[in-house]
Chains A and B, each alone.
Chain A
Amino acid sequence: MKYKEVYLDNGATTKTDSKVLEVMKPWFCKNYGNSSSLHKKGIHSKETLEKSRSIIAKRINALPEEIIFTTGGSESNNLAIKGVAQIHKTGHIITSKIEHPSVIETCKFLRKQGFEITFLDVNKDGFINLKQLENSITKRTILVTIMHANNEIGTIQPIEKIGKLCKEKQVLFHTDAVQSFTKEKIDVKKANIDLMSLSAHKIHGPKGVGALYKKKSVNIEKQIHGGHQEQNLRAGTENIAGIVGFTKAVQLAKEEHIKKMTELRDMLISNIQQEIPDTKLNGSREKRLCNNVNISFKYVEGEGVLIHLDLKGIAVSTGSACSSQNLKPSHVLMAIGLRHDIAHGSLRFTLSRFTTKKDIDYVVKNLKEIIKNLRKISPLQKNYKYSVGVKDKSYW
């Protein structure tokens, strides 16, 4: 059989759309001006930079000057959270247990600096509890940072409700929208969002570029000192090629892609559930990112499945402890209360607009075979008692 390549790890990163690459090309050897320069090349860069800013701002109903270009999601999260913290100098920050490491680690860093941090629990589907959030807000609270869509299990938080609550309580609201951007409609005004992180490489743009939306009235401390670029909030000569690519990627992302990905996602879920016994869908069935499928295959371990799939040309990811550098299962799967052995058998399939029905069929066919074979050699089976006393040090 012909070797097929099926990439279902778009939550990790996506292929750069060739149309994106095309518009980036002139910005290396031809239009290489520094946007701060006063000559023609500089002005050309400046104009392009500002045009890009407007296009991205419009997509989320923001003003152009509310967009700060960065190197990606991680930097945007750092800039938002540390930026707010340093303006206030002291106080309380509320986040959740399922955030991306660039949020969790930043909060843990601030905790060491004397800030008080609350990590909100999530329920079995990965939702925070709005009542718990409301009860956690105190006079000292300076920021609530809750992600829009989770990168592992795809659960989409009710950001409009969170935004409304934060507005009522007069605390700032930051959301990490790296995974949801262009896959969910986002209106920063309607949702009362003060700060929002975006990244290009999750939407078929280049790696190493992203943005932070910051509401005009919100003050943050800059994190990279130097020149006066980006409203004097982020020093460094702008990555025009990257920004042009990011902008093109945003323009290429269409609503019809959401519909297509949703259909294929649902097909993948139902075909797996029909073809393979003893599985568990992780994350919400209803409020779920259009390209995310996260399923635990009981009695088997995820890394083994991943490598078998890889040998068939299929790229996915897993939350198994075996595949992580610290031998702990994913903190997200632990936060939704998965038993260790169920987390062990989790696989994440993340689709893109380039995914086809044929890809899905190929994956399910191979997966069925692989799971069957691995189950044959597993000591676990229905109704077993899993008795390994796994030492779980808390992550948060």
Chain B
Amino acid sequence: MYSKEVMKHFQEPHNMGEIKNPDGIGKVGNPMCGDLMEVYIKVKKNIITDIKVKTFGCVAAIATSSMITDLAKGKSLEEAKKITRDQVAKSLKGLPKIKMHCSNLAAEGLYKAIENYQKKTK
């Protein structure tokens, strides 16, 4: 059911955990299936220098959490905000149709973490 890439990220997800004193936090929940995600970022000179994530959810939720950290790390805030759910899914070599909402959650979590940082620094 899942692609090899999804399974790889699920078995050994990248950047899991939290960051002490993060610059931004994004907490999101999925009202469809009940999954939860928390995204933590560190920002230096407008660049995401570190990102960590905690996930309560299925294989797809964990894999997309892991993928979003890979995609966002080292990117400027503007670039990171542009990461779409389709990009997350594509980088994972596809997700089952019914699991597409998981990639939405990951992209939304990142977006919220960036917003949280930008609000604080305004």
List chain A positions with a Cβ less than 8 A from chain B.
299-301, 303-304, 307-308, 311, 320-323, 325, 327, 329, 340-341, 344, 376-380, 386-391
Contacts and interface: CB of A to CB of B under 8 A. Distances in A.
Interface residues of B, number: 30
A327 B33 contact: yes
Interface of B: 2, 7, 10-11, 13, 16-17, 27, 29-38, 53-62, 98, 101
B59 A303 contact: yes
Contact of A320 (B13, B31, B58, B62): B58
B54 A379 contact: yes
B33 A389 contact: no
A381 to B, nearest CB: 10
A340 B56 CA distance: 12
Contact of B58 (A303, A329, A376, A387): A303
A389 B29 CA distance: 8
A344 B36 CA distance: 11
Contacts of A300: 56
Contacts of A329: 34
A307 B11 CA distance: 9
Contacts of B27: 379
Interface of chain A, helix or strand or loop or mixed? loop
Chain B CB within 10 A, most for which of A323, A344, A379: A379
Nearest to B16: A377
Contacts of A308: 11
The 4 closest A-B pairs by CB, nearest first: A388-B29, A322-B58, A379-B54, A303-B58
A377 B62 contact: yes
A317 to B, nearest CB: 14
A109 to B, nearest CB: 25
Given A307-B10, A344-B34, A376-B16, A301 B58 contact: yes
A341 B31 CA distance: 12
A59 B14 CA distance: 56
A376 B17 contact: yes
Contacts of B62: 304, 377
